[in-house]
Structure formats: C-alpha cells, structure tokens
Amino acid sequence: MLTIKNLSKTYSNSVKALDEINLSIDAGMFGLLGPNGAGKSSLMRTIATLQMPSSGQIEFAGQDVIANPQALRPHLGYLPQEFGVYPKVSAVDLLNHLGLLKGLSDTKARKRQIDTLLALTNLTQHSKKAVSTYSGGMKQRFGIAQALLGSPRLLIVDEPTAGLDPQERNRFHNLLSDVSENTAVILSTHIVEDVSNLCPNMAIVNNGQIIKQGRPSELIEQVSGTLWRKQVSKQDIEQHLAQYNVISQRLVAGRAEIHVLATHQPSSEFEPLTVELEDAYFAYLNLANKNQLRKEA
C-alpha cells in the first residue's frame, strides 16, 4: 500500500533528518520506534505531504505522492505530535470544517460520523466547547477524532497517547486496532509497550535511518541469548558501565539493574535475560550507535 524508497530529508539548516529510508507498509498497524530526535516525526510529516523530501520516493497505492500529493490526501488521516486549533471554535464545528475539507459533503453522514467519533473519544459532552480551551488529554482525543474523519486508508499517528490517562490510552488502542483491519496505520512512538501490544510489524529509527524492521517477535528472537542482567549497587554502576556493554539500566525494588549485550555470559554474576521488545529495542540502538561510532572513527 505504502512504499518508501531511499527517502532522505535535509533541512535548510543542514540537519539531515532522514537518511535513505526504505519501508513497505500494508494494511494493519505498523510501529515506528525511536528515541527523541531520531527522525520519526520528520518521516511522518514527509509521508503526510507536509514537507518535501530532499530525495527518494513515496508511493501510495501505486501513485507517486511526491509528484502528486493530492493522490494521497483523500485517503490520509493524520494526527501530528503537536497541533493547534483555531481559537473560539468548538470541537463539533472544527470537526465539521475538517470533514468538509476532507470531502465529507453528505451532511447527514458527516454528522453521524462526527457524533460517533466524539463519542468514541469521549468528547460528546464537550463538543460545543472551544477546542482551544481543552486540557491536553482532551485536545489529544480531539486530534484522534479528526484523524479518523472520512475513510482514511493510511492513518499516521505521531505519539498519539501522549497525555492520555491509562483508560483513554486503552480505549484508543482498541480503536486503532479496529481501524487497522482495512487501513495502514503508522504508529510513531517511543513507548515500546504500545508497539509491542498493537503492531504486528515495526521499524526502529535512529539518526534518520531504519536500523531494524520486522515483526516484534522476530526482532526479539534475533537478540535472544545475547542479553544479560545483573543487580548492582549504585556505587558500582560507573565501573560496570566502563567494563560492560550496558544497553540499559533500571531500578528494581530500589536496586539498580543493568542489562548488558554480550554474545557470552560476561561473568557468573550475570543472569540470562528473558528478552522483551524494549530490551531488543535498546540492543539495536546500542548496536547502531556503535556502528555509527565505528564509521566515524
């Protein structure tokens, strides 16, 4: 459905945000994981026709999106990471407006869908209030509603659950899951759990490059047996960081636990780690960063 080939983007200030990205995305949820500044939002904006790439191709259903952005827009639902709204315009009016801009000219159908979306995002009782007065979570829910207007075949959601409480987050996950049956949904996030729970396919982005893509289980499988854990005292952390290839550290019951990437058990004090997607994610980031350093050296 969506094919991205050798996509690069360098901003006018010479920052290279995307570097030879290649992706192929079909209907269903596709997770895009990456740290802050990795290039996820740049990729989203480029796919969403909001910015021109420096080079590369984007095709949607066989149509060249870069040459003809209008080919994608009728089928696009987009929830940016950050967005604003017009002051003093109510949610229902703004949804109505965006619906008309998307081509929902049938008044009854548009109204019905808006009512449904407001209910699904739990905004019905606030639908007459200006969106500009909404709290962060409400505004994010409004963003979800507007992205789903019409019949998007490609839904791009950038950090959609930021600011949502757990209940709303679950509701949104269910909604996305429903939508993704016939729609390609690109879920950009740095919350590994969201990808883990929702996405049958995913990619990890770092420094503007796709460093890994595949099914989450495959990504986990590929690093199984190379990850180790050890609980250490806080004063020993520095020494372990210097000595081992530490990919992450966390607190477990008040004690520090380090996760180490190594082909063999680093020492007898280390135990094999039951790999989860987050560990795999850190492992791939670690490997990518090392490769980068090696290249620069």
Which of these, 45, 2, 10, lies nearest to 208 by C-alpha position? 10
Nearer to another protein (CB atom), residue 31 or residue 150:
150
Which of these, 188, 185, 191, 193, lies nearest to 203 by C-alpha position? 188
Which of these, 281, 292, 247, 279, lies nearest to 266 by C-alpha position? 247
Nearer to another protein (CB atom), residue 176 or residue 287:
176
Q: How far is the CB of 152 from another protein (least distance, A)?
A: 7
Tokens of 152: 């998007």
**Residue 50 lies near another protein (rule: CB under 8 A):** yes
**Residue 140 lies near another protein (rule: CB under 8 A):** no
Cα radius of gyration (the chain): 21
Interface map 58-87 toward another protein (x if CB under 8 A): ------------x--xx-x-x-x-xxxxxx
Which of 6, 24, 55, 182 touches another protein by CB under 8 A?
182
Judge contact between 198 and 84, C-beta under 8 A: no
Indicate the length of the chain as a whole number.
297
**Per DSSP, which regions of 199-265 are E strands?**
201-206, 209-214, 227-232, 246-252, 255-261
Which of 133, 217, 231, 267 touches another protein by CB under 8 A?
133
Q: Scan for tokens 């002051």, then name that residue.
A: 87
Binding residues for another protein (CB under 8 A): 11-12, 45, 48-52, 70, 73-74, 76, 78, 80, 82-89, 96-98, 100-106, 109-110, 112-113, 116-117, 119-120, 122-123, 125-126, 133-135, 137-138, 146, 148-152, 165, 167-168, 171, 175, 178-179, 182-183
